Amino acid sequence: MDLQEMLDQAATGDVHVEEGWGQGRATFGGLVGGLLVSAMLPRVPEAASLRSLTVNFVAPVAPGAAQAEVDVLRSGKSATQVLATLRQEGAPVAVALGAFGAPRESAISVAATAEAPQLAAPETIEPFPYIAGMTPDFFQHLEMRLADGGFPYSGASTSHMDGWMRFRQAPPTFDIRHFVTLVDCWPPAVVQMLSELKPGSSMTWTLEIVDDVTAEPDTHWAYSVRTDTAEGGYAHTDARVWHPDGRLVAISRQTVAVFG
């Protein structure tokens, strides 16, 4: 079963999480987020688009059967708030709150202040390799090309990453479900500061969609992440995502647990 089939399944409430999307002992968080959004969408008015998504990774999501439960907390004239819970063997493994909103008239318009980084063309940068048994399983599906910053576990003095991302094999279409799945592909920015392999995982992830993410399925998206602070085994990061045409389309924030 490929990504598209899993996303389509999740919209029905029952999904089989496939092998090959692992990240340590858990399933890749981006896929978890994409499945939860897929479950939400049938319950949301067509005119409303995803504005903000907050995901809490409660427990490792394992390959196998999962159930997505959706509760529409409120649906008004413009805004709809939706809670989705992914369960395995009856226990919650991930919870997401989605805020959807239809466009409305407003006198306020503020252009994005964050400028896209000046990156070398993606074709000139080698992607992170996928090496079975050494790199995360999901690397075989997602492509990251690091333009600035350090590689994971390289003992770097930096804590930022700039680069490009896309699917290695383009899906048949590309919509908000695919975008959510893709955006979380980068490793925690702080693990580049470690000189040996130590686990690190996202505890919470908030994604704010600020512009249309419609694009060709094989589009390279520009990504830039900075570490705001890290102390006591927890790091807090702030990232931006740009469409190749230069539009800022998303803001991504994470709280990361680092075991090392």
Question: Quick check: is 245 in a domain?
Answer: yes
Question: Quick check: is 161 in a domain?
Answer: yes
Q: Is 238 left (phi over 0), alpha (psi -120 to 50) or beta?
A: beta
Query: Per residue of the chain (260 residues), what is the pLDDT tens digit?
Result: 899 999 999 999 999 999 999 988 899 999 999 999 999 999 999 999 999 999 999 999 999 999 999 999 999 999 999 999 999 999 999 999 999 999 988 899 888 888 899 999 999 999 999 999 889 999 999 999 999 999 999 999 999 999 999 999 999 999 999 999 999 999 999 999 999 888 778 899 999 999 999 999 999 999 999 999 999 999 999 999 999 889 999 999 999 998 86
Question: Quick check: is 112 in a domain?
Answer: no
Q: How many domains does the chain have?
A: 1
Mode of pairing for the β-strands spanning 79-88 and 64-75: antiparallel
Q: What is the CATH number of the domain that holds 248?
A: 2.40.160.210
User: What pLDDT was estimated at residue 260?
Assistant: 67
**Domain region containing 93:** 3-102+119-258
pTM (2 decimals)? 0.95
User: What pLDDT was estimated at residue 50?
Assistant: 98
Other CB atoms within a 10 A radius of the CB of residue 15 amount to: 23
Question: Quick check: is 150 in a domain?
Answer: yes
Question: Quick check: is 111 in a domain?
Answer: no
Question: Quick check: is 52 in a domain?
Answer: yes
DSSP at 187: P
Element (H, E) at 9: helix 3-10
By CB neighbour count within 10 A (0-12 exposed, 13-18 middle, 19+ buried), where does 173 fall?
A: exposed
Q: Is the dihedral of CA 92, 21, 72, 109 positive or negative?
A: positive
